[in-house]
Amino acid sequence: MKILHTADLHLGKTLNERSLLDLQKQMLEGLIEAVKIHKVEVLLLAGDIYDRSLPPKEAVELLSNFLSELCLELGVKVMMIPGNHDSPERLAYAADLLSAMGLHIGLVDKYISKIELEDVDIYALPYVDRATLNFIHGEKFKNLEEAMAHHLCSLELNPNKFNIMMSHHYVLGEAPLEESDSERPLFLGSTENLSTTLFEKFDYVALGHIHRAQSLAHNVRYSGAPMKYSKSEADREPGYIIIDTQDGTVDFHGLGLDKDLCVYRGFFHELMEQTSEDLCYFELEDTSYVSNAMNRLKQNYPGALGLNYLQIQSNLKTKSGEEIQSLDHLSLFKSFYFESTGHALAEAEIEIVNKMLERSGRETD
Q: Which residues are at the interface with Mn ion (CB under 5 A)?
A: 8, 48
Q: Give Cβ neighbours of residue 178 (< 8 Å, ≥ 6 apart).
A: 210, 212, 214
What does the angle CA 45 – CA 64 – CA 110 come to, to the nearest 5 degrees? 45
CB of 243: closest distance to Mn ion in angstroms? 21
Question: Nearer Cβ to Mn ion, position 76 or 210?
Answer: 210
In the bound state, the residue with its beta carbon closest to Mn ion is 48
At its nearest, how many Å lie between Mn ion and the CB of residue 85? Answer: 6
Give the nearer residue to Mn ion in terms of CB position, either 23 or 297: 23
Q: Are 301 and 279 in contact (CB under 8 A)?
A: no
Distance CA 266, CA 301 (A): 14
Q: Which is nearer to Mn ion, 48 or 233 (CB)?
A: 48
Nearest distance from C-beta of residue 247 to Mn ion, angstroms: 30
CB atoms within 10 A of CB 195: 17
In this structure, what are the phi and psi dihedrals at residue 274, rounded to the nearest 5 degrees?
A: -120, 170
By the 8 A CB rule, do 194 and 148 touch? yes
**Separation between Cα atoms, residue 206 and residue 201, nearest integer Å:** 13
From the CB of 62, what's the least distance to Mn ion, in Å? 17
H or E segment and range at residue 125: strand 120-125
- Least Å distance between CB 135 and Mn ion? 24
The span from the CA of 86 to the CA of 40, in Å, is 26
Q: Smallest distance from the beta carbon of 169 to Mn ion, in angstroms?
A: 11
Residue 56 vs 266, nearer CB to Mn ion: 56
127 vs 282, beta carbon nearer Mn ion: 127
The 10 Å CB-count burial string (b at 16+, else e) for 229-262 is: bbbbbbebebbbbbbebeeeebebeebebebbbb
* 8 versus 121: smaller Cβ distance to Mn ion: 8
Please identify, using beta-carbon distances, which residue of 41 and 48 lies nearer to Mn ion. Answer: 48
Beta strand 304-309 with 77-81 is unpaired
As measured in angstroms, the least distance from the Cβ of 220 to Mn ion is 17
Minimal distance in Å, beta carbon 64 to Mn ion?
Answer: 20
Query: Of 151, 9, 125, 153, which Cα lies nearest the Cα of 67?
Result: 9
Q: Which is nearer to Mn ion, 77 or 211 (CB)?
A: 211
